[in-house]
Amino acid sequence: MRGPALIDAWLAAAEAGQPVWLGDVRKESAAAEESRALVLRLTLCGGEQRDLPLSLPRWETEAQRGFVRDLLCACVFNALSALSARELSLYSDPADRELAALLAELPALFQLDAPKRAGLGKALNVADRLSAALGGGRFCFRFCKVQDYTPLSSSGPLPAEGPEEALRRALRDAGQGLCCGLDVGGTDVKLALSRGGELIDVRELDWNPAAFTTPEELIEPLLGLLRAALADAGAEAYAAIGVSFPDVVVRDRIVGGETPKTAGLRDNPALDYETAFAEITALRSRLLALCRPGAPVHLINDGTMAAFTAAMELFCGGRGEALSNGVLAHTLGTDLGTGWLLPDGRVPELPLEIYDFQLDLGSRPQRSFAPEDLRSVRNENSGLPGVRRYLGQAACFRMAQELSPALLEGFTERRGESLLLRTRPQDLRKPCLEHLMREAEQGDAAAEEIFRRIGRHLGEVSREIDWLLQPATRTRFLFGRFVKSPRCFALMREGCRAVCPDLELVAADETLSCSPLMRQLAARSPDAVARCGQAVGAIYYALAAEAD
């Protein structure tokens, strides 16, 4: 089929409020007659290069051109959100003036030279901070002739070593001293404490970091939780602290700064945001003050912590062979976290900000709502249609309102023209998600469909991951509140299979409880592993590296 006819069909579906999945558009564009081919070459913040082929359909009208522009921007945004880069080179046919003009719009669309970026430009904010942390320069676009393109050479096989030695070391050292793991989320923080190989404390703190307007408001609750646990244990210092944090983390430094958790800081006109965020970047130094000299203190992204935790439990369960293709895991709760452990045990220094991916080029009427409106498909974080409204608790609320508004009775409020989930005087986000899960367990058809769609959207995310990362593993380990209900998880698997039949979803529940500390956690309550497993994983993560 010719490009213009394809685009018109997508536009009609979009205006009718139907999703137009990016994976489908990219696949059908590649097969379209006379499609325009180009290559995106990313020079990553650490210097490695990646090539991504992309085909764009030909257009005839301005509306069709606008759709192709959206397609191009979504692919570039997703590539930068997952991989980041200090340079993006675009190879195309210089004789194609229409395509050249479209590509030339990218610097302005991504606000390359703007003093303050929003929307698409948020990906460049992360790129600049990550590149600076790794010793690189500011992001730039380069436009190149396809005649000058040379395919990248193969990097060769990965090293033969795996993560086993680091996992053994963590298991050994968990039997010594007072070790603490923190799992920092968007609605709560979980803490796990062990002494001498015994899990002696598990506790939770509810919070709403997006409402905080100073860095100390975000940091002090974490330190207070750690101090209280330390005092209750009758100890003076920790032997190790591991932290799972919902942001880009490289080399134990929080460097992303564009997540919903720091929205209050970004919006505070009394602060210089970069200066304020630097205090959060330096969180590790505040944690070291609670530890004995030389204690390992390590921070990592929450998704990566999920991948590491899955690797530890597989290893302890005698399934070390499952690590041979690497481990890819998600946390699914307030948002979507993603982590990737390579077959050799390395954690790639990539942002993997997949919670901000654009998946749907359609659903135009739902874009008309303000980002804070629960009916909107636009993220509050970026203002763009993105994963946060297709996966996670905000996605559940949106779909509940769409499928059966009665499901949200008593949980919502009107504020101006916006429909919001109530967060004051009591934050009802967690209670509402629990309510929707119970309704699905009891057979409510609309509630069941919510979790079926969550699974489908996870499949769409996996299609993007396959395009961008090409992981060898076809398994996804899921942590978080969404997997603690067997019925809801079964519905999610059903929805995911409709998109990716070969993808296996594995719930991180008591069946994935094989390490000594995780077995003790599973014995506490049926859903303890789903809720607090990453806090236990954080203990092991801290010990998997050599002490400083």
| Residue-level pLDDT at 510 | 79
Q: Count other Cβ atoms within 10 Å, centred on residue 368.
A: 11
> CA–CA separation, 175 vs 480, rounded Å?
26
| Residue-level pLDDT at 339 | 93
Low-confidence ranges of the chain (pLDDT < 70): 155-161, 546-548
Contact status, residue 447 vs residue 440, Cβ threshold 8 Å: yes
Q: How do residues 269-327 score in pLDDT, each as one tens digit?
A: 999 999 999 999 999 999 999 999 999 999 999 989 999 999 999 999 998 888 889 99
DSSP character for 120?
G
Contact status, residue 379 vs residue 386, Cβ threshold 8 Å: yes
Q: Count other Cβ atoms within 10 Å, centred on residue 321.
A: 9
Helices (H), 134-211: 164-173
| Residue-level pLDDT at 380 | 84
Domains of the chain, start order: 3-148 (no CATH), 166-318+514-548 (3.30.420.40), 321-513 (3.30.420.40)
How do beta strands 475-479 and 504-507 pair? Answer: parallel
> CA–CA separation, 119 vs 473, rounded Å?
32
> CA–CA separation, 535 vs 543, rounded Å?
13
CA angle 329, 333, 338 (to 5 degrees): 25
| Residue-level pLDDT at 350 | 92
| Residue-level pLDDT at 172 | 92
| Residue-level pLDDT at 153 | 85
| Residue-level pLDDT at 159 | 53
DSSP character for 461?
H
